[in-house]
Amino acid sequence: MRWTMPPHSWDHDAAGSSRAATHVPPLRCRDIWHGDNDAGGAIEGAEEGDEEDEEGDEDGDRDLQSKRPKVRGFGEESPQHSGVNASFFGLESTHFPGSDEHGHFKLSHCPENELDFGLSLFPNDGVNENPGDGNVGDVEISGGENSEDVEIRMDLSDDLLHLIFSFLGQRDLCKAGASCKQWRSAIVDICHRYQNVTYLNLSGVPHAELLVMEAITCLRHLKTLIMGKGQLGEAFFQLLSECPLLTTLTVSDASLGSGIQEVTVNHDGLHELQILKCRALRISVRCSQLQILSLRRTGMAHVSLNCPQLVELDFQSCHKLSDNAIRQAATACPLLASLDMSSCSCVTDETLREIANSCPNLSVLDASNCPNISFESVRLPMLVDLRLLSCEGITSASMAAIAYSRLLEALQLDNCSLLTSVSLDLPHLKNISLVHLRKCSVLHRVSITSNALQKLVLQKQESLSSLSLLCNNLIDVDLSDCESLTNAVCEVFSDGGGCPLLRSLILDNCESLSTVELNSSSMVNLSLAGCRSMTLLKLSCPNLQNVNLDGCDHLERASFCPVGLESLNLGICPKLSDLHIEAPKMSLLELKGCGVLSQASINCPRLTSLDASFCRKLMDDSLSQTAEACPLIENLILSSCLSIDLNGLSSLHCLHKLALLDLSYTFLTNLKPVFDSCPQLKILKLSACKYLSDSSLDALYREGALPMLVELDLSYSSIGQTAIEELLSCCTNLVNVNLNGCTNLHQLVCGSDDCSSGDMPVDVCPPDSAPVRSEEISERSDRLLEVLNCTGCPNIKKVIIPSMTTYLRLSKINLNLSTNLKEVDLTCSNLYTLNLSNCSSLEVLKLDCPRLTNLQLLACTMLQDEELESAISRCSALEILNVHSCPKINVLDFSRLRVVCPSLKRIQSSLIT
């Protein structure tokens, strides 16, 4: 489209002659505002129009003769305008100087013979999108190529206003229309030129009704109109007849009428009308084709309806409407299928009876929060969905009337505090909700018969004690916080109890249950969390996959025979003393903390991990039976199992895949059954086994027991220094050794490459032995040790690993909290981390560790800075150094340390802020 600027809009010089025409580069509309491309925007036209513009630009570049300036924007319509795909304003995204709000106009492309436009004028806080690529918004000025002084002045003609308004956001566009008559006229003129708009949203725009009332006569294709806020008088609703195609009208948060007269909505084509949160005295709706009407939260005192086709009516929270007004309005709609009058406190049973007689097709009714409704003698045979939440008048006598609705599928009776029993025979019922507040729950008995009910929720029925269900398709049941349920409820959910397809049962916090016995072939999920009175649990549910026993801290006896569980945690049941499990699929069992468990029959052929920590009374015979029935166990934790003795450990020969055995905190004195029965063992934990002697480990370093052992934990044990050094020297497959808190460890000098006798110094070779080449040592005795932990060894004073040793893989040493440690001399080619923190006696530090990256010396109060500099000088890869709280290392800027070790990246010190 091309719009031509009137010639009088251009400025002339003082002499009255036109300024000499010069050729300058094409000037875009965005250049008018900013001189750059910050505010972009383009107006889309026909493809032919764009091509003409491009050709015109090329001609202008070649032709040096003067041409009349042309503004391509809003003005005269081009011949192509009526037959192209267009949009209102043709803009995807625009920005107007001085406004922080961005407009978004959606394009609505239609066939050439069926224009369909969309205009949205509600506030938009979104971000800019990419501007269009069209050139129709360009301003061309032809003249001399070297002109430096081109002055352009334009009057605010209607054409230019159209161009300017095309850059406005939605909110600013409407504000501009309310500013003055000329601007409003220009915007109304836009509506005249684009009469095919079908959707108009003015929600939240102040004074939008003035613009609409002036433009509405030309918006004859409008189908949807959305208004919000402001004052809408009778004249506004009368003008709606000028839009014959209007089908949807939404008005929200507005004042209707003058406050003393009735507001009438009269439109023969309207199908949906929503008047939400508005203020009016009286509303009259006369729409012959209206199907959906919502007056939700609108404060009117009277309503009159003449809508013979209405099927959905919403009066929710219309507090000022009287019972008689609601009755007259609803009964005037014979085709009504859905009625919402929730929170209309004046509604009575008489109104419901009248509605039942006048609206035989009513299938959805919401009368929640209507305290005067008891529903007695109300007959609604077509009801499918009934909601009576918080209806104080609903009692057990109301159930007879509800049961008359045989087609009912969904029923909500939450917080009906006077219900004492529920007995329903509804063959199509799929969902029932009876959630009550604790303080007002008096429901004692529930009896439901239904072939369609799939989910039953009866939470917080603290008085419910009797439950009868005959529901062949019931799948989920939630009886949480039903404190009065008795043990007999288990019969309802067992095979033959009336719920053959039940998969999920929640009995959380049912504190009256003392014995739970369930025999169900369909149950998959069971939750008994918080059932604190339960002492006996017997489950025979072969398909049970999940069970929750949190808070069942009084459970004494439990039987899971059979169940389909893959994992089970009973460590939260501290009083459990007798346990029987038959679970063909179970792989993980945790009994950690079952301190009084003495008898355990565990038949789980796929079990791979058993944690029986702190089962102090677990006997040898239970361990033997478990080992025979569960041959696939790989991880066995018997920490603090004080009753396990040699007989129980001997039975471990059945566990051919056992890789981890934890015997920490036990009274064992002899490990021979372990060495004989578990040759494939990889991890052995003997932490705090105070009664083990040095000879207890002889088989490890003298006889080659446990050849696959890679991790050994002797923390806080009584093992002596000689045994420890023999282990480190001879057990070459060890990867991780923990010696934390070993009080008998005085020094750790790794200097022997061969196993030596107990009375031979470990750092001296036999005098008659021939020299051994380093290659032979590496091939024969290369040790796999990677991690050595000696944290908190109170008596260790010296740690020496000389170069002759073959700890080539040692990467981490931890000597933290070894307070008497004085000397550390390490030559380790692969050491990455060394922790000497809190070694307050450390004075000598010698390191030859070319790969060390992390050195922790926190609180090494005796270490001198000269000693530190010498130590790190041979650690060429060191990056992190922690000398916090080391008072004798006093170089403030640590420049000397970085000179000695250029690789340092971070130094942690109390002297550095």
Q: Residue 77: what pLDDT?
A: 37
Residue 875 tokens read as 């650690």
Q: Residue 434: what pLDDT?
A: 75
Length of the chain: 913
Q: Is the pLDDT of residue 705 over 80?
A: yes
Rounded to an integer, what distance in angstroms lies between the CA atom of residue 216 and that of residue 195? 10
Rounded to an integer, what distance in angstroms lies between the CA atom of residue 574 and that of residue 594? 5
Residues linked to residue 536 through DSSP beta bridges, in sequence order: 515, 557
Q: Is the pLDDT of residue 72 over 50?
A: no
Domain ranges of the chain: 195-310, 746-751+783-912
Task: Please tell me the number of Cα atoms within 13 Å of 901 on its side-chain side.
Answer: 30
Return the H-helix or E-strand segment holding 400: helix 398-403
Name the least confident of 336-350, 384-398, 779-793. 779-793
Q: Residue 194: what pLDDT?
A: 62
Angle, helix 158-165 to helix 181-193, in steps of 10 degrees: 80
Q: Residue 429: what pLDDT?
A: 83
- pTM metric for this prediction: 0.61
Task: Give the percent of the chain with pLDDT over 70.
Answer: 74
Name the least confident of 272-286, 308-322, 617-631, 755-769. 755-769
Q: Is the pLDDT of residue 133 over 50?
A: no
* pLDDT confidence bin for 47, thresholds 50/70/90: very low
Q: Residue 546: what pLDDT?
A: 96
| Cβ atoms of 373 and 393 closer than 8 Å | yes
Q: Is the pLDDT of residue 195 over 90?
A: no
Mean pLDDT (whole number) for 804-817: 89
Rounded to the nearest integer, the mean pLDDT of the chain is 79
Q: Residue 217: what pLDDT?
A: 75
* CATH code of domain 746-751+783-912: 3.80.10.10
Mean pLDDT (whole number) for 529-553: 95
Q: Residue 895: what pLDDT?
A: 82
Mean pLDDT (whole number) for 334-362: 94
Q: Residue 7: what pLDDT?
A: 37
Per-residue pLDDT tens digits for 448-460: 888 888 888 888 8
Residue 279 tokens read as 């203020």
Q: Is 369 left (phi over 0), alpha (psi -120 to 50) or beta?
A: left
Q: Is 158 left (phi over 0), alpha (psi -120 to 50) or beta?
A: alpha
DSSP class of 81: G
Ranges 62-66, 435-439, 440-444, most confident: 440-444
Q: Residue 423: what pLDDT?
A: 80
Q: Which residues lie closer than 8 Å to 386 by C-beta, 6 or more apart?
A: 365, 380, 402, 405, 408, 410, 411, 412
Strand order in the sheet with 823-827: 747-749, 798-801, 823-827, 844-848
Higher local confidence (pLDDT), 424 or 692: 692
Per-residue pLDDT tens digits for 462-511: 888 889 999 999 999 999 999 899 999 999 999 999 999 999 999 999 99
Mean pLDDT (whole number) for 26-43: 35
* pLDDT confidence bin for 687, thresholds 50/70/90: very high
DSSP class of 316: T
| Cβ atoms of 587 and 567 closer than 8 Å | yes
Q: Is the pLDDT of residue 38 over 80?
A: no
* pLDDT confidence bin for 830, thresholds 50/70/90: very high
Task: Give the percent of the chain with pLDDT over 90.
Answer: 51
**Helix and strand tally (H, E) in the chain?**
19, 53
Exposure string over 850-865, b if 16+ CB within 10 A, otherwise e: eebbbbbbbbbeebbb
